[in-house]
Amino acid sequence: MRRREFVAGLIGASLAPASVCAQSALPVLGYLSSRSRADVVAPLQEFHRGLAEAGYVDGTTVTIEYRWAEGRYSELPGLAADLIERRPAVIATNGNVAAVAAKAATSTIPIVFAAGGNPVSLGLVASLGQPGGNVTGVTYLIAELSGKRLELLRELVPKAV
């Protein structure tokens, strides 16, 4: 399963109960980023495409509330609190710092992150196998997996390394 489909599925599953209960208003999806909209054009397009593939279109089946810190990390707690006041069914975050700010702001609203760091070390989840709490997502674990990748390469092609 591709990452885009996975994240869209998680968000879709979180939105389903809200869409059943709120028949007169569209469910709200929160999006919190430490960057600016201009900095994440391509990832944001993929985010929208993944949501659309799951049947969620901004302004049609869901309302997306964006909060952009534009590199000012100190503003993330306030932006997260403001977003929570809109009572989103789920919050999607972009980046480590935004995910940590969202987690600090709520323990009840589901949070889906895309982060480059280790979510256990960042305090986002209890473990990779059993995240627990209200936070889940996708991580690249770039530094943490380098040794494992080399180990697998040695096993697959012993004379190459």
How does pLDDT run across 12-69, given as a tens digit for each residue?
655 555 444 444 589 999 999 999 999 999 989 999 999 999 999 999 999 999 999 9
Q: Give the CATH number of the domain where residue 104 resides.
A: 3.40.50.2300
The two tokens of residue 133 are 């709490």
- Does residue 161 belong to any structural domain of this protein? no
How does pLDDT run across 61-119, given as a tens digit for each residue?
999 999 999 999 999 999 999 999 999 999 999 889 999 999 999 999 999 998 888 89
In sequence order, what are the beta bridge partners of 136?
Answer: 112
Number of domains in the chain: 1
Question: Phi and psi dihedrals of 15, rounded to 5?
Answer: -80, -25
User: What pLDDT score was predicted for residue 141?
Assistant: 73
Contact 15, 29 (CB under 8 A): yes
Contact 77, 101 (CB under 8 A): yes
- Does residue 40 belong to any structural domain of this protein? yes
pTM (predicted TM-score): 0.75
CA dihedral (86, 91, 94, 95) positive or negative: positive
- Does residue 14 belong to any structural domain of this protein? yes
Longest dimension (CA), the chain: 64
145: domain range?
A: 3-156
Neighbours of 126 (CB within 10 A): 13
